[in-house]
Amino acid sequence: MSLWRIVFKSLRQHRLSTGLAVFSIALGVALLISVISLREQSHHNFTQEGLGIDAVLGPKGSPLQIVLNALYHLEEMPGKIKWSYYKKVIEDPIVSDGIPFISGHSFAGFRVNAIDDRFFTDFEFLPGKHFSFNRNAGGDGRSFQSRNEAVAGWAVAKMLDIKLGDTFNPVCGVNAGDPIHVNDTLTFVGIMAPTGTPHDRAIYIPLKTFYTLEGHGQDVAQMAVDEDCREISGAYLKIKRIRGGALHPGIQDLKYNISQSSAAQLVIPTEVLPRLFNIIGWVDHILLAIAVLVTLLATLFLFTALISALRERRRDIALMRSLGAQRRTVFGLIITESILITLLGGILGLCFGHGIVAIGSYFIKIETGLRFSAGYLSVADIFVIPSMLIMGFLAGLLPAIQAYRLSVLKNLTPVS
């Protein structure tokens, strides 16, 4: 009989406590894995090169609000900027392109953005990637070409079961109870292929359609034809690159120059979002602390289980010693048992953790359009197995020492 068999036998003999220990460790590890994976992926998602947007020209107000609205279709823009100011900005030598948009409408809980049609051809939702309506890629139809046409993001189409030719009436606002443009019926002519970005969660209509929606008033309608009084919510700006693909260093000067005006501000997403994470970073830390605590408690449970199991096994251990097992052998048996339990718990926890991420990813994708991957390998994945080895060793150390020091004669029935 090999020593490994003795270990496995022992684990089976105490299968209830072994099972509980494995389960509780798996739970702690699953929490750790899922929290860290979601945390890292959300950091990545929210900071991935500004989602293809170098800068957002927006009104004065909270830069974070502008980024959340322009990139993630959340919040509302804090104001409007003049079309003439936008034109001045895109004439700056370091600006290569701009795509103006107007936000503030919605349909069935999804944002409806009026946008320049170059959004579908020139805009890079991720560096080097353009929108597509290709059926093979999951899209359908085409971009809008006339006033009453609209395009749906992939997640919107999936959630609302939108087909080409379906119609809708946009809501003038983003809150429940806001008025509906009942006399403006728009038709879906395109569904964008999924991009894994928040743009999947929006509906897009022509820029000029916004101005002519009934109920906006004559002064807004005038903006459709008169550039001098036209206003927009903001614009996505593409900045020129220098050697190596880095942003033109003049972007900071441009940002400074625009910020000196009373009309607008330039927001660089990759500068703003880290601040968001700094603010909510404590939530992160608390979740992580909870996960770590659960894992430590599970290890403590294992420790107590091993200690109490040892009390039952004193005789067995004394018997093995009398059969010739050395002190270090019984020490090793206990340690190996402990490590096997934590290792098994760790492996199960890895699977559970990625399972939790898979489930969470599905709902996050539906709710935000952001893609999270169950197969993402985080820092935790790399360290979980070595950590389990260490924890198993530590949890089993005291019981193993007790086994090591166990007196053979005292634990076998004396005869004469």
Partner 1 sequence: MLKIKAFIRFFIAIGFGFFIGLTCNEQHAGAIDKKETTASHSKEEEPAHKAHHQGCLNAIETCEVGHAETKIEGDTLKVWFVGGGTDTGRSVRVPDQIINLTITTPDKKTKNLILYPKPNILAEEKAGDCSFFEGKAPWLIGLQKFNAAGKVNFKGKERKIIIEYPKGYDPD
Partner 2 sequence: MELSFTGEYKMAITIDNLKVDYCNGGESFTVVDILSWHVEKGEQVAISGPSGSGKSTLLHIIAGLLQPNIGLVRVCGQELTQLGEAQRDQFRAKSIGYIFQNFNLLQGYTAIENVLMGMTFSSQKPNRQASVDLLKEMGLCSRLNHYPSQMSIGEQQRVAIARALVKKPDIILADEPTGSLDPLHTIDVIVKLRQACQQHGCTLIVVSHEQEVISSFEKQVFFLELNRAFDGKAVTV
Residue 415 interacts with partner 2 (CB under 8 A)? yes
Rounded to an integer, what distance in angstroms lies between the CA atom of residue 370 and that of residue 363?
Answer: 10
Question: Which of 156/330 has CB closer to partner 1?
Answer: 330
Angle subtended at Cα 130 by Cα 127 and Cα 135, rounded to the nearest 5 degrees:
140
Residue 416 interacts with partner 2 (CB under 8 A)? yes
Binding residue (CB under 8 A) for partner 2 from 111, 321, 354, 365 = 321
Query: What is the three-class DSSP state of 268?
Result: coil
DSSP labels for 76-130? --S--EEHHHHHHHHTSTTEEEEEEEEEEEEETTEEEEEE-GGGGTT-EEETTEE
Binding residue (CB under 8 A) for partner 2 from 219, 322, 362, 375 = 322
Residue 278 interacts with partner 2 (CB under 8 A)? no
Residues that bind partner 2 (rule: CB under 8 A) add up to a total of 28
**Min CB(360)–partner 1 separation in Å:** 19
Contacts of 282 (CB under 8 A, 6+ apart): none
Contacts to partner 1 by CB under 8 A? 3, 40, 43-44, 47-49, 85, 88-89, 92, 252-254, 256-261, 268, 270-271, 273-278, 281, 284, 328-329, 331-333, 335-336, 379, 382-383, 386-387, 389-390, 393
Place of tokens 């441009």: 254
CA dihedral 341, 342, 343, 345 (to 10 degrees): 90
Query: What is the three-class DSSP state of 388?
Result: helix
**Min CB(402)–partner 2 separation in Å:** 17
Query: What is the three-class DSSP state of 393?
Result: helix
**Min CB(256)–partner 1 separation in Å:** 5
Q: Which helix (H) or strand (E) holds 287?
A: helix 281-322
Among the residue ranges 2-10, 20-28, 47-55, 139-147, the one whose residues contact partner 2 (CB under 8 A) = 2-10
**Min CB(263)–partner 1 separation in Å:** 8
Among the residue ranges 59-67, 172-180, 205-213, 324-332, the one whose residues contact partner 2 (CB under 8 A) = 324-332
Q: Which residues bind partner 2 (CB under 8 A)?
A: 1-3, 6, 9-10, 12-13, 315-316, 319-329, 408-409, 412-416
